[in-house]
Chain A
Amino acid sequence: MESKKFNKFVNLLNKFAAKVNNQKYIIGIKNTFATLLPVIMAGAFATLFSSVVFSPEIGLAQISSLSFLAELKPIADVINYFTMNFLTIYVVFVLGHEIGKLNKLKGVFPGVVSVISYLVLNPSFINFVTEDGVNLEIKNVLSRQYTNPEGLFLGMFMAVLSIELYTWLGNQDRLKIKMPDSVPEAVSNSFSSLIPTIFTVTISATFGFAIHFITGMYASEIIYSLVQKPLEGLIQGLPGILLLMFVAQVFWVVGIHGMQMVKPIREPLLLAAIAANTAAFQAGEAVPNIVTMPYWDIFMTFGGSGATLGLLISIFLVSKRPDYRKIAKMSFIPGLFNINEPLIYGLPIMLNPILAIPFIVTPLITGTIGYFAISLGFAARSVVMVPWTVPAIINGYLSTAGDLGTVFTQIICIIVSILIYLPFVKAANSSMIDETQALN
């Protein structure tokens, strides 16, 4: 009976995974953030350069013969500004393009429609109060808050809404401009997108105008305070991020890629969080977020999902099983780069009642340690986006622009993970259950 119930549970998770993955907007969001990672990386490298090379306080530029390097800081600053503080624009463009592709539209033009539809919701002026208390309205500027990650959610909504509208309009036969057959295809194609574009952009702008007219607030303020801020608060708090990790781990235990499942929630929020941190660090302001994409990688997934670096070391220390030792040896090098599929399917951890427990629990505990170490000021908040394949310790050092407290915390987390895995690896020594049978 037990196993029947369990099979039902596994099937349910599989069905859920397939459903989530088939959802058009989720595919679009996942592809968008995968595409844009280099943009975030470019900004991160600029920041790293700015602090380790160009900075006259902590970088190479403090050496007097290299002081000219400080003059070059604007290069890093401008790259940082137009990557991190423009992230929303890029997201809106790529997501619009992706949704367009999924709707079988040709070309990149839907990306442009999507960007315009988002921009027309925002005011193109800022109010500026001078020192004498005079209120000036500066026209024809776009405030930073509409291009930086604060605008992310409204941007994502608009990308989806505008492209759906654009696609629908394009499919209406009555709106098609008919060209004689002799007109070249390129010409008639550009005419065929003319009316949908005009309608989509006009409807978006009117929508923005109506919202401001009725509520007195701009759409961006409403979405930011009603949707994005609360969601950020939830995921960037300790319980929220642990819940997200827990869900991912449960999927992994039945053999489904857990990170894929939480990606649509994790990516927009945690990548926005690191972008905000990078921008603040670069500007010399207080770094706002504890929970970021690197926080996830540094404290919860060293060695791969389930913080299996600890499992690998535990096996080398106490496992008597030749099969375990063989898989662990094979998995060691990929494990250093946080790739652990051989462990998950080879050991296996998947559907393994003994190893599933530490596999789920370890990242939750090490994540908590990391969170408190940062809250107490012992470890630093991450400011540089580092790819998930960078080995532990190095990722902690790089992502905090060289904070040794973070590295030390990471070492503690690795030791703790070894201690959690140890008794379970020992139990597997004497286990009479043949895990390979559990798979069949």
Chain B
Amino acid sequence: MAQLNIMLVCSAGMSTSMLVKVIKEEVQKQGLDANVFAKPSTEAIEYLEAEPVSVLLLGPQVGFMENNFKEVVGEKEIPIAVINPISYGTMNGKKVLEQALELINK
């Protein structure tokens, strides 16, 4: 069981899975114990209710769903944020990982 579960969500889980790849590389480089994965928005809520998630990052294109997810994870207190659009577009795994870790440690 990995220590950290970083979940990314976008519409179909396509572009976030590209980002997941670069974040995983960064995780390995930094020697972290983290499980990074992407889910389409249609499956995200069910997953959140059933599985452990340490932090939830939303693709900017589905940023409008932030409040939805906040309601769902309300009691579980999982930090949620929208990924910075520039980091997202440039597929900057390092920056996004930083954002995730900051949210967890807050």
Please indicate the chain B residues that have their CB under 8 angstroms from the CB of A343 in the complex. 89
Please indicate the chain B residues that have their CB under 8 angstroms from the CB of A350 in the complex. 60, 85
Contacts A257-B11, A339-B15, A341-B15 known; A346 to B63 CB distance under 8 Å? no
Binding-face segment, B26-34, B64-72, B97-105? B64-72
Mark each residue of chain B from 65 to 94: 1 if its CB lies under 8 Å from any CB of chain A, else 0. Answer: 101100000000000000001101111000
Please indicate the chain B residues that have their CB under 8 angstroms from the CB of A14 in the complex. 63-64
Q: How many residues of B contact A (CB 8 A)?
A: 23
Is A259 positioned at the interface, with any CB of B under 8 Å from its CB?
yes
A169→B6 CA distance, assembly (Å): 41
A21 in complex: contacting residue of B18, B65, B86, CB < 8 Å: B65
**Contact B90 A327, beta carbon cutoff 8 Å:** yes
**Contact B61 A341, beta carbon cutoff 8 Å:** yes
Contacts A257-B11, A259-B11, A341-B15 known; A348 to B42 CB distance under 8 Å? no
Interface hits, B16-37 → A, CB 8 Å: 18
Closest chain A CB from B70 CB (angstroms): 11
Interface hits, B29-69 → A, CB 8 Å: 40-42, 59-65, 67-68
**Contact B14 A439, beta carbon cutoff 8 Å:** no
**Contact A348 B85, beta carbon cutoff 8 Å:** yes
Closest chain A CB from B68 CB (angstroms): 6
Contacts A34-B42, A341-B15, A342-B15 known; A256 to B89 CB distance under 8 Å? no
A34→B88 CA distance, assembly (Å): 25
Please indicate the chain A residues that have their CB under 8 angstroms from the CB of B63 in the complex. 14, 255-256
B89 in complex: contacting residue of A17, A30, A344, A389, CB < 8 Å: A344
**Contact A330 B60, beta carbon cutoff 8 Å:** no
A348 in complex: contacting residue of B40, B65, B89, CB < 8 Å: B89
Q: Majority SS of interface residues in chain A?
A: helix
**Contact B18 A334, beta carbon cutoff 8 Å:** yes
Interface hits, A20-52 → B, CB 8 Å: 21-22, 30-31, 34
**Contact A256 B64, beta carbon cutoff 8 Å:** yes
Please indicate the chain A residues that have their CB under 8 angstroms from the CB of B10 in the complex. 257, 341
Closest chain B CB from A315 CB (angstroms): 14
Closest chain A CB from B25 CB (angstroms): 14
Q: Which residue of B lies closest to A17 (CB)?
A: B64
Q: How many residues of A contact B (CB 8 A)?
A: 30
Is A260 positioned at the interface, with any CB of B under 8 Å from its CB?
yes
**Contact B60 A345, beta carbon cutoff 8 Å:** yes
A153→B90 CA distance, assembly (Å): 42
**Contact A346 B86, beta carbon cutoff 8 Å:** yes
Q: Which residue of A lies closest to B66 (CB)?
A: A18
A348→B60 CA distance, assembly (Å): 12
A306→B88 CA distance, assembly (Å): 18
Is A245 positioned at the interface, with any CB of B under 8 Å from its CB?
no
**Contact B11 A255, beta carbon cutoff 8 Å:** no
Give 5 nearest A-B pairs by CB, closest first.
Answer: A346-B89, A345-B89, A257-B61, A341-B15, A17-B64
**Which B residues are closer than 8 A to A by beta carbons?**
10-11, 14-15, 18, 40-42, 59-65, 67-68, 85-86, 88-91
- In the complex, given contacts A21-B65, A257-B11, what are 4 additional A-B residue pairs having Cβ atoms less than 8 angstroms apart? A14-B63, A21-B64, A342-B18, A348-B86
A-B contacts, 30 listed (Cβ < 8 Å)? A21-B64, A22-B68, A34-B40, A255-B61, A255-B63, A255-B85, A257-B10, A257-B11, A257-B62, A260-B11, A260-B41, A260-B61, A334-B15, A339-B14, A341-B59, A341-B61, A341-B88, A341-B89, A342-B88, A342-B91, A344-B61, A345-B60, A345-B86, A346-B90, A347-B89, A348-B85, A348-B86, A350-B85, A389-B14, A439-B86
